[in-house]
Each structure stands twice: as structure tokens, then as C-alpha cells.
């Protein structure tokens, strides 16, 4: 089964039984955007030049999520990676990818109500083998296996958004940092990937801080 880095990340970030995120939704959303930017870079669509993300190739990928991001960036003046993370991140991407995984039989889509009033949707796993295989490959890299560029991106994103500590608490922090710094990447993409990883770490800290602030404010009201 063909699966994107963003979809792999989404599977890792959701509890297989409850179908709910096991890190903050804000952190999931911004990391999914980073995954799309990184995978487009690996596909030769972007490069990092003079502090900005630059479009190299506008050829459609055939993936709606990728192609919309490609069009948005191509239609704008040069911007920094962090600017694009802020601009492109929204919950819609997460829900679109969850629905897509459900349509392919990887997840189930379950609807319910809270207090009999508010509609809820969750996505527990239907085919746990897909997520287990992704987790196994991440574990192999954390244990010392040499990643290819695609696996390097996934493991770096897992580390940058805080999933590494939750899913692999015994992993060496030095190994996660090494992967996050893009030492596995070829010269054509390494700088762009490193910039994406730097931006995602900052964005996750900000989004997590905002989420905690909202919880505290709600508890005080």
C-alpha cells in the first residue's frame, strides 16, 4: 500500500484503540504540514535558497494535499519555512487524511455524541498491521539502522513533535537529535529539510504553549 509520510505520522500520532491523538491536536496539525513540505522537497518540488522556500517544479503529484500546497507556495512571493508552516496549517488536513485512511480500510470511522448533543468522530485502527510496520521501521532507525531520505524525514518529525518520547521512551535522545539535524539527507535536500525541522520544533513549542494556555484559562473561568 502506498502511504505518504503525513499519513504515517498521523497513524503514529493517534491511539490505535480510542482513535484520538496522543499528542496535542495543534502539534499534530503543524507536523502534518511539515511532513507535506518535506515530502515535496524529497520529490524535487522545493529547495531552500537565500532563506526562503523556492518552487523548482510545478508538475502535479496527483495527490490533492500535495498539489494544493504546491500551488499556494508557487503563487506567493518567497517566504520563510516558518511562515508557510503558520499559513498552511489547519485541522482540515488532518480530517482529510483521516478520512482517506478510513476509505482505504486502514482506519474505521466512528460517529457518536457527547451528552446527547455534540457530534463526535473518531478513527480507531481497522488494520493495525500498517501502523505496526511503520512503528517497526522507526524503531529500527532509532536503534541504529541507516535511514533513507523518506524514513529520515519521518523519524525527524516524530522527534520534533514529541512523539518520540511517547512512543519510544527508551530511545537515545542523541540518536533522535542526529536524525532531526538531517545528517542522513543528500546535499540537494539537506538544507531544506533541516530548515523544516528547525521550524517545526519552534512551531510545536508555540502551539503546545497556546493549547496549555487555553486549558488554564478555561479552568480559571
Least confident of 13-22, 61-70, 94-103, 137-146: 13-22
User: Residue 206, exposed/middle/buried by CB under 10 A (0-12, 13-18, 19+)?
Assistant: middle
CA atoms within 13 A on the CB side of 95: 5
pLDDT bin (cut points 50, 70, 90) of residue 213 is: very low
Domain ranges in the chain are 5-205
Give yes or no for a contact between 140 and 130, defined as CB atoms under 8 angstroms apart. no
Q: Per residue in 145-199, pLDDT tens? A: 998 889 989 998 998 888 888 999 999 888 888 887 766 666 556 677 777 777 7
C-alpha cell belonging to residue 80: 520563510
C-alpha cell belonging to residue 200: 517545526
Q: Where are the alpha helices (DSSP H) in 75-172?
A: 81-88, 91-103, 128-142, 149-160, 163-167
How far is 78 from 73, CA to CA, in rounded Å?
Answer: 8
pLDDT bin (cut points 50, 70, 90) of residue 221 is: very low
Q: Does domain 5-205 have CATH number 1.10.3630.10?
A: yes
How far is 19 from 221, CA to CA, in rounded Å?
Answer: 29
Residue 37 carries which DSSP code?
Answer: H
DSSP conformation letters of 30-44:
HHHHHHHHHHHHHTT
pLDDT at residue 29 greater than cutoff 60: yes
Q: Per residue in 60-98, pLDDT tens? A: 999 999 999 999 999 999 898 889 989 999 999 999 999
Amino acid at each position: 500500500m502506498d502511504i505518504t509520510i503525513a499519513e504515517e505520522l498521523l497513524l503514529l500520532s493517534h491511539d490505535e484503540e480510542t482513535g484520538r491523538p496522543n499528542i496535542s491536536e495543534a502539534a499534530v496539525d503543524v507536523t502534518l504540514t511539515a511532513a507535506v513540505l518535506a515530502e515535496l522537497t524529497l520529490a524535487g518540488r522545493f529547495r531552500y535558497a537565500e532563506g526562503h522556500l523556492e518552487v523548482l517544479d510545478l508538475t502535479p503529484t496527483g495527490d490533492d494535499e500535495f498539489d494544493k500546497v504546491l500551488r499556494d507556495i508557487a503563487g506567493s512571493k518567497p517566504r520563510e519555512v516558518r511562515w508557510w508552516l503558520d499559513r498552511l496549517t489547519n485541522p482540515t488536513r488532518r480530517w482529510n487524511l483521516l478520512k482517506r485512511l478510513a476509505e482505504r480500510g486502514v482506519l474505521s470511522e466512528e460517529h457518536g455524541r457527547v451528552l446527547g448533543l455534540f457530534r463526535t468522530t473518531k478513527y480507531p485502527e481497522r488494520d493495525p498491521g500498517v501502523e505496526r510496520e511503520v512503528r517497526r521501521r522507526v524503531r529500527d532507525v532509532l536503534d541504529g539502522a541507516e535511514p533513507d531520505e523518506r524514513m529520515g524525514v519521518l523519524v525527524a518529525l516524530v522527534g520534533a513533535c514529541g512523539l518520540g518520547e511517547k512512543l519510544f521512551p527508551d530511545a537515545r535522545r542523541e540518536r533522535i537529535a542526529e536524525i532531526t539535524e538531517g545528517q542522513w539527507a543528500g546535499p540537494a535536500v539537506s538544507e531544506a529539510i533541516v530548515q523544516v525541522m528547525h521550524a517545526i520544533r519552534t512551531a510545536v513549542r508555540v502551539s503546545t504553549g497556546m493549547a496549555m494556555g487555553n486549558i488554564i484559562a478555561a479552568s480559571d473561568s
